[in-house]
């Protein structure tokens, strides 16, 4: 599921989970565990990337639609753990967005401190409302944090996805690189941040992201979102979405 390499002081985490790097319980927990381990390691920064034309297609809707209520109730805490481990990671995190970053995959990319997308690599955006599910509190706040304010409402309500250059304008990415140079550029960005004082960086990052933690705490957990995700009509809508989009031959 995860390929972990080192480039000097930089940990390179490559997502390798099927064709789509779709987020299921096991994958979420594996990514989170790797980030938690890296935080305790000698690595000074992290690069997160995918393989081929896929960063991550987001939540594994087929697993959710087939697993039903019990699976959804187990999945949402795993998803929260994933976003928490990456977004609040004390060390610098750079997302090298090699391909499509859709829905939960876009949120995962937006958890990084810096996001570099491959030119013509794929589409980037959050499609949750097209599926019929709301954003869990932390996912919503991550998108609010990352997106340029004037584009935030449109981005989350429209369900639209964007090419890298459009994503740059909207704040979903910070830089666009040629595909052949993406990994090197991401490592260079990670090395630049890794050269800063680790304690000063961690404190400053915590200060920047404290409002996110405060808003999530005020939201009072994922209960309301879970109620909608597990509602019979939501699961039926999810199955219909999977049938219409993911099972096309």
- From residue 238, how far is each of 94, 114, 124, 138, 157 by CA, in Å? 32, 32, 21, 21, 17
Closest CA to 15 of 47, 39, 63, 62: 47
Q: Report in angstroms the alpha-carbon separations of 169 from 124, 147, 149, 156.
A: 12, 9, 11, 15
Burial label, 213 (beta-carbon count in 10 A; 0-12, 13-18, 19+): middle
pLDDT mean by block of 10 residues, the chain; 249 residues: 94 96 97 97 97 94 91 96 98 98 98 97 95 94 97 96 96 97 98 97 98 91 87 91 71
CA distance 37 to 148: 31
Per-residue buried b or exposed e for 125-142, using 16+ beta carbons within 10 Å of the residue's own CB: bbbbeebbbbbbbbbbbb
Percentages (nearest 5) of helix, strand, coil residues in the chain? 55, 15, 25
Full-model pTM: 0.95
- 91: nearest Cα among 13, 37, 36, 39: 39
**Domains observed in the chain:** 2-183 (3.90.226.10)
Closest to 53 (Cα-Cα) out of 129, 134, 164, 153: 164
21 exposure class (CB count in 10 Å sphere: 0-12, 13-18, 19+): buried
β-bridge mates for residue 117, sequence order: 97, 176
Coil, strand or helix at 170: helix
Token pair, residue 97, equals: 């967005």
**C-alpha–C-alpha distance, residues 115 and 94, integer Å:** 6
Residue indicated by tokens 């961690």: 202
Per-residue pLDDT at 249: 40
């Amino acid at each position: 599921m995860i390929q972990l390499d080192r480039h000097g002081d930089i940990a390179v985490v490559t997502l390798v989970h099927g064709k789509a790097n779709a987020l299921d319980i096991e994958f979420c927990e594996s990514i989170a565990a790797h980030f938690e381990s890296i935080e305790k390691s000698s690595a000074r920064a992290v690069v997160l990337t995918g393989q081929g034309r896929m960063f991550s297609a987001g939540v594994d809707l087929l697993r959710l639609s087939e697993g039903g209520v019990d699976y959804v109730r187990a999945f949402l805490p795993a998803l929260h753990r994933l976003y928490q481990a990456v977004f609040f990671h004390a060390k610098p995190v750079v997302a090298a967005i090699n391909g499509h970053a859709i829905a939960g995959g876009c949120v995962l990319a937006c958890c990084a401190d810096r996001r570099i997308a491959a030119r013509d690599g794929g589409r980037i955006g959050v499609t949750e409302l097209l599926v019929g599910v709301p954003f869990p509190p932390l996912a919503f706040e991550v998108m609010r944090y990352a997106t340029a304010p004037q584009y935030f409402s449109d981005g989350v309500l429209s369900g639209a996805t964007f090419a890298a250059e459009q994503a740059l304008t909207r704040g979903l990415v910070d830089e666009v690189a040629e595909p052949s140079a993406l990994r090197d550029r991401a490592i260079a960005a990670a090395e630049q941040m890794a050269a800063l004082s680790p304690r000063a960086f961690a404190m400053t990052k915590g200060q920047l992201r404290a409002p996110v933690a405060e808003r999530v705490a005020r939201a009072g957990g994922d209960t309301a979102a879970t109620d909608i995700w597990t509602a019979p009509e939501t699961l039926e809508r999810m199955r219909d979405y999977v049938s219409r989009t993911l099972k096309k031959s």
